[in-house]
Every structure is written in C-alpha cells, then in structure tokens.
Amino acid sequence: MTAPGERRRLAVHALRVLWPAFFMAGVAEMLVFAVLDPMDLRWFGGEPLGLGRQAVYTLTFLIFWLLFSVGASVTLLLSRDPQPGAEAP
C-alpha cells in the first residue's frame, strides 16, 4: 500500500497533467471545428464516418485530451530531477 504522502504526490502530478490537457483539448476542438464541419469528415477520404455531430465532437475532444495528456506527461517526466545519489548525464 502506498503512503498518504505518495498518493498526494501522484494526485498532484495527475492534476498538473490532466487539467492543462483538458483546457487545451477544448481550445483545439474549438479551433478545428471553427473550420471543419463534422458531417464532412470521412474515413481516410472514403466512406462518411456515420456518426452524429455530437459523437464526432465527443470523440475528437477525447482524442485531443489523450494526445495533450501524453505530451504533458512526457514533459513532466523529462523535467524531473535525477534521483538523489544518481549521476546526472
């Protein structure tokens, strides 16, 4: 079982990643759909998606949120200080 301090640290890291990613996913969604109509989207130029407007908005938002979360997580990981006693490159 993890210590309460460790759980708090993980929660803080999760908030540092997920909240800005959520915000940026919303901004990206507004920018993309200010230019594109979701009903005009097709699978790699072929068949129409066959999804409603709301479903396209939702799926796109979740994809953007995932992508921004991965980017923020990598940034957080790379910005960590080396472990105490470890040599820095």
- pLDDT, tens digit (0-9, with 9 covering 90-100), for 9-57: 888 888 889 999 999 999 999 999 999 888 888 888 788 888 888 999 9
> How is residue 66 written in tokens?
């995932």
Could you give phi then psi for residue 42, rounded to 5 degrees? -135, 155
What's the pLDDT at 1? Answer: 56
Could you give phi then psi for residue 83, rounded to 5 degrees? -60, 145
DSSP annotation of 84: T
Residue 79 to residue 89: CA distance in whole angstroms:
14
Distances (CA, A) of 78 to 7, 27, 64, 68: 21, 25, 21, 15
Residue 68 near residue 25, CB atoms below 8 Å: yes
